[in-house]
Amino acid sequence: MRRLSFPLFAFVAVGTLGCEGVLGSSDWQPGMPVPESLPPRADEPVIRMPEEDVCAPAAKDVGRVTIRRLNRFEYDSTVRDLLGDTTRPSQDFPADDFGHGYDNQGDVLSTAPLLVEKYDAAATKLVQTALAAEYRPGFSQRLPATGMTASTGSASGQAWNLYSNGTLLGDVTVTTAGTYTLNVRAWEQAAGPDRAQMRLLVDGAAQGATFNVAATAAAPQTYTRQVTLTAGTHRIGAEFLNDYYQAPDDRNLFIEYVEVTRPASGMSGGTARILVCDPATGATCVRTILQTFARKAWRRPIQTVELTRLEALVTLAQTEGDGVQLGLELALSAVLLSPNFLFRVEGDVSTTPRALDDYELAARLSYFLWGSMPDDELSQLADTGTLKPQLAAQVTRMLADPKSDALATQFAGSWLWSRAVPDTNPDPTLFPAVNASLKAAMQEQTTATFRTFFREDRSALELLTGDDTFLNDALATHYGLPLPGTNTLTRVRNVPLNRRGLLGHGGVLTVTSNPNRTSPVKRGKWVMSQLLCMEPPPPPANVEAFETQPNPTGTLRQQFEAHRSKPECAGCHAMMDPIGFGLESYDAVGRFRTTDTGGFPIDSSGELFDGRRFNGPTELAGVLAADPKFGECMAQQVFTYALGRAPVKTDRCTVKQMSDAFAQSGGKLPALISSLITSDTFTQRRGESP
């Protein structure tokens, strides 16, 4: 039987282009966030409002929300929590598009036919694997009596005649412990006042009461006992107890076979994720299984009509001669192929704002902080309608959960571009020591550093100035620092000034460089766009590309200054280059240096676009940490990641409240998050005009 398929929505993916020196389409690597923002929608102009009007009632709006498909990370995390599957099936899916720097933006998460095919294959495999783990296979082994070991008697056709008291025994091996049925097919040759008496044996022990065998050769019967067997080999059989002989009367016991059986059934119990009861017991259990599974997978209660359709798939399989297990495979695969699973569906799309129900709110919260489905506690709060009053408490609980690591790997990984580090390709001739393991350590350094700021409730301003970092021996060697004595990244405190904060991270410095040299423009643009949320002016059309001198007569800085003197290049480079020059003390893979590749002394002084001066990366980091725009930018970045869309004019009140809460808390990320998730923008929704 073929599994179900369904039409899915398709969105247009938008890319961006950039000028030479600015990270654009030609520089983008798989996994690297697109650095430019998507163009604003016609109905959502991105313009600044006078400060006094930011939170005026007319300026407020909870915003349009595009239905969001689960991205690859969310899909893997969801099937992990739903089914216990850690195989990361999304590795076979097409790459997700990026919008506004993130791959969880509703407007760009398209659904191509190839992806639907991959969903179908993944759903089938996931369900089959999960059911196989929870289904107990049936067992049946029959021992013909004539092939068993008898203490007395002789063969009689296909049966064995125990013509005096004695035993008939054989070995059977079971692979799993449990309750089995021991069957003995027998009849008597009657004689004397009593029936032939038989008892069943397992490993020499009698199983239950003695049978009075009344069956005849013309109508044999099967005598049965339920027995408990451990995994392994057991000696089973029967014993004849009351032989009788007074010529011509002779009482004998005839046995045709001994067998052990157990039907296939669900291994229901506390560890079962799907088979919460044994489907072999009937339709009521099947209904319970489908209802429970769909409730978790769809992140809301299942409607009666939906449940009826799923039950019909099980019935169809059984009608066509297949078992209940195949029927469940069809129905559960349909659950995983439904838009209710693959998309984060939020009710109606009326243009009138409405409050999210607790199920929708639980999903928004869990995918924001965990990148995965709500857990049992969130689901129970949604079932009782008591989630909203406990939002702040849930943020505290959820940030302490290991699943909040998604904020470090997905949010910070995209915001700070650490996800792009493994895909960088420094010139192996110039940088032979930069291999996959070193790049992985660079990536994890940034991930682990960010993790401390919400796990330990530190000030996020220390992202730029903190005196601690994470190193292993390979990364410490790369930086020229003392070895921590481990291949695993470990926390190191009181590191030198040039290794404090993000600006000293090799991953950040490598991903903002060219393969064979540094790029002050890319580094300057990264600081502006990622830390201050200020996009530099777009490059003019057909701008002349910058090319380094084959035999330089001056520093890279001097070459760029000559390039910047051209009128068509001045607008773009005048803002970015001076910031990037502040990081010229690091080479293209993040090693500290005092002279460049041409042997010229490094000049790492510079100034920001507003005239603030600095000398070197340490002073630059201090200037950025003291800039209120850093906190405001972090609020915008968190907003974009959490809501799946960038903030627009009518969101400025929410963003301002977030940045105010962030500043008042001393730069604590949990305060920033709590401000967002309790706002109307997060707890309400509206559709868009037709």
Reported as a single tens digit per residue, the pLDDT across 306-326 is 999 999 999 999 999 888 999
| 598/646 same-domain check | no
| 463/443 same-domain check | yes
Does residue 14 lie in a domain region? no
Reported as a single tens digit per residue, the pLDDT across 575-600 is 777 899 999 999 999 999 999 887 88
Does residue 286 lie in a domain region? no
Domain boundary residue, one of 598, 626, 654: 626
Does residue 210 lie in a domain region? yes
Beta bridge partners of 551: none
| 501/650 same-domain check | no
| 426/561 same-domain check | yes
Reported as a single tens digit per residue, the pLDDT across 179-201 is 999 999 999 999 999 999 999 99
Q: How confident is the model at residue 278 (pLDDT cuts 50, 70, 90)?
A: confident
Residue 61 pLDDT: 80
pLDDT (mean) for 131-139: 85
Domain span at residue 453 reads 413-626
Average pLDDT, the chain: 87
544/350: higher pLDDT? 350
Rounded Cα distance, 636 and 648, in Å: 10
| 571/666 same-domain check | no
| 658/553 same-domain check | no
Reported as a single tens digit per residue, the pLDDT across 28-83 is 343 444 333 333 333 333 434 344 456 766 556 888 878 899 999 999 999 999 99
| 465/490 same-domain check | yes
Residue 57 pLDDT: 61
Does residue 328 lie in a domain region? no
pLDDT (mean) for 372-400: 96
Domain boundary residue, one of 210, 229, 262: 262
Q: How confident is the model at residue 18 (pLDDT cuts 50, 70, 90)?
A: very low
| 553/427 same-domain check | yes
| 620/640 same-domain check | no
Whether residue 277 is predicted with pLDDT greater than 50 in this model: the reply is yes
89-97 LR contacts (CB < 8 Å, sep 24+): 89/122, 89/125, 89/126, 90/122, 92/118, 92/121, 92/122, 93/118, 93/119, 93/122, 94/118, 95/30, 95/31, 96/71, 96/72, 97/13, 97/14
Q: How confident is the model at residue 138 (pLDDT cuts 50, 70, 90)?
A: confident
The number of distinct structural domains making up the chain is 3
| 435/484 same-domain check | yes
Domain boundary residue, one of 608, 626, 644: 626
Residue 135 pLDDT: 83
Whether residue 16 is predicted with pLDDT greater than 50 in this model: the reply is no
Across 592-629, b (16+ Cβ under 10 Å) vs e yields beeebbeeeebbbbbbbeeeeebebbbbbbebbbebeb
175/30: higher pLDDT? 175
The CATH number of residue 217's host domain is 2.60.120.260
Residue 62 pLDDT: 86
| 168/227 same-domain check | yes
Does residue 464 lie in a domain region? yes
Whether residue 279 is predicted with pLDDT greater than 80 in this model: the reply is yes
Share of the chain above pLDDT 70, in %: 85
Does residue 290 lie in a domain region? no
| 527/456 same-domain check | yes
Question: Model pTM?
Answer: 0.80
Q: How far is CA 45 from the centre of its chain?
A: 34
Does residue 306 lie in a domain region? no
